[in-house]
Structure 1
Amino acid sequence: MTTSVGPLLRSWRERRGISQLELAGRADSSARHISFVETGRSRPSEEMVVRLAERLDVPVRERNALLLAAGYAPRYPHTPLDAPQMAALREGLDRILAAYEPYPALVVDGTYTVVAANRGIAVLLDGLPEHLLAPPLNAMRITLHPQGLAPRIQNLVEWRGHLLAQMERQVALARSEPLRALYEEVAAYPVAGHSDPMDPGDPADPAAAPFALPLRIVHEGQPLSFVSTIATFNTPMDVTVAELAIETLLPADPATAKYLRSLGT
């Protein structure tokens, strides 16, 4: 297992597909120095490690690992979301979720564990089996499990493909074994009407998604259509905050908006 900082930095650079010369230009250094760092001939300063990690867009959690590998203390705290110092953040998230009602919105962490959700999400989850709703809720598992929302999703093959591609990109960008394990789990779930869960099935109807791929789901016999948006925090300085994402489901047609408003959520 690689523990020295040089090979770790080289791995991140290669993962990003950039040369030593390009990285040197981004980090105000030289290709020779980058080469010496990667081969272990030169020990980078703490500030150089941070600068290289920033230019390589290394996730905050992994920046701490790079600092430790270089012999420095971690710079970014990993504060539990329920800690007292996170009170302002929790309050802000709750306000965002409440303001978005009656439309669904939720907050997930780096492995899609649901840390907060509004009543619009509760409407969509109504009737799911207890074993899927027991804490900790996982958004990917609830969506793609054959006993979860999957049977209610009208364009399951297309939506599933979108979610798996999203997870694949995240697995490639971050060395997260829990995320990889989750991906392997949900990718293996059977898809109704397809013996092979990786079978793409029929292509989506282009006319059904004029500007973005919609999530088309049925709630108590009523077809609903949503477009998903995801927001993250700008320049996070804490591992917990860096891995949070706010997902909102925007009604993709007037009928969906009208139906949700009629529920009085």
Structure 2
Amino acid sequence: MVVEQQVRVGVLLRDWRHRRRLSQLDLALLADTSARHLSCVETGRARPSRTMVLRLCRALDVPLRERNTLLLAADYAPAYLESSLDEEGMASIRSALDAMLTAHEPYPAVVVDRQWNLVTGNRAMGVLMDGIPPHLLTPRSNVYRLALHPDGLASRLVNFGEVRALFLDRLLRQVNATGDTRLRELYDEVSRYPVPEDDGETGHPPSPIQVPLRIRTPHGELSMFSTMATFGAPADVTLSELAIELFYPLDEFTTQALRALGTDQHE
């Protein structure tokens, strides 16, 4: 059993090293160990200590969930908890998320997990979610399905071709960086969605944002860009996989339209 575990953790570590495109010597230098010892670990001839597994994980920038997987493969207990956001110990995190989302109004903001499922959002997200059919909202809304499915935002995006290319490239890079099989399945699914014959792309003035979100709404064409925020130095798997996407107006028309919508929502 011990030998099988040594082989398993060695294979997993080698896969992560290849994913990061590092040689054994490169990784050994980053992890302050010898290339010879690393070779023995990868081939199963040596069992790495718990400290060594974590040191290699840090050097390889392995996500916390997969660090636990590597520890279990080496017959060690997981190092990181995985808490539900509903737990009492996460109350401060829920409070911080609520404060960020509310403070960002009247501009849209949403919290997503690693698979890009929507965890929560603010009231201003209604401008993007309006008209989305129920089958894209259950069991969980997913950013990529909402944006790229023909029944979602695809038909309303003025620059759908640009947005689609950007989204697929971003998702594929995340798949390659994490090795997450569920993200791979999501990529395979959304990349097969049919592309509208006329994606509506038209000429627009130069923008400081390479691919803004240009969307047709009953209030006019809104132009937005987004930024992503994450929690610093997370020690919990759930927290490490959360991201907050904040949308901002790209022009004065969008600014005024979103502010007007925000005023209506508060009345």
Is 1:56 matched up with 2:60? yes
Distance 1:153 1:8 in 2: 41
Distance 1:258 1:221 in 2: 10
- What whole-Å deviation, never above 9, does each CA across 1:73-105 have from its counterpart, x for those lacking one? 111111111112111101110110000001010
Residue matched to 2:234: 236
Residue matched to 2:177: 173
Is 1:91 matched up with 2:95? yes
Residue matched to 1:37: 41
SS at match of 1:227: strand
RMSD over aligned Cα atoms: 2.1
Residue matched to 1:47: 51
Of 211, 214, 222, which residue of structure 2 is paired with 1:213?
211
Distance 1:259 1:131 in 2: 28
Distance 2:195 2:210 in 1: 23
Are 2:219 and 2:257, in contact at CA under 8 Å, matched by a contact in 1? no
Gaps of 5+ in 2: none
More off after superposition, 29-38 vs 1-10: 1-10
Aligned AA (1:50): L
Are 2:117 and 2:142, in contact at CA under 8 Å, matched by a contact in 1? yes
SS at match of 2:231: coil
Is 1:248 matched up with 2:246? yes
More off after superposition, 50-59 vs 34-43: 34-43
SS at match of 1:208: coil
Distance 1:151 1:98 in 2: 29
SS at match of 2:226: strand
Aligned AA (2:152): G
Task: Give runs of aligned pairs for residues 150-189 of structure 1, distance below 5 A.
Answer: 150-189=154-193
Task: Give runs of aligned pairs for residues 91-130 of structure 1, distance below 5 A.
Answer: 91-130=95-134
Distance 1:4 1:121 in 2: 44
More off after superposition, 18-27 vs 102-111: 18-27
Are 2:228 and 2:246, in contact at CA under 8 Å, matched by a contact in 1? yes
Aligned AA (1:161): A
Identity %: 51
1:208 CA drift (Å): 3.5
Residue matched to 2:194: 190
Is 1:147 matched up with 2:151? yes
1:206 CA drift (Å): 8.2
Are 2:158 and 2:201, in contact at CA under 8 Å, matched by a contact in 1? no
Distance 1:96 1:115 in 2: 14
- What whole-Å deviation, never above 9, does each CA across 1:141-163 have from its counterpart, x for those lacking one? 11111111111100001001111
Are 1:212 and 1:227, in contact at CA under 8 Å, matched by a contact in 2? no
Distance 2:229 2:67 in 1: 22
Aligned AA (1:52): L
Distance 1:206 1:42 in 2: 60
Task: Give runs of aligned pairs for residues 73-84 of structure 1, distance below 5 A.
Answer: 73-84=77-88
Are 1:109 and 1:245, in contact at CA under 8 Å, matched by a contact in 2? yes
Gaps of 5+ in 1: 195-200
Distance 2:37 2:223 in 1: 53
Tell me the TM-score normalised to structure 2 length: 0.91
Aligned AA (1:16): R
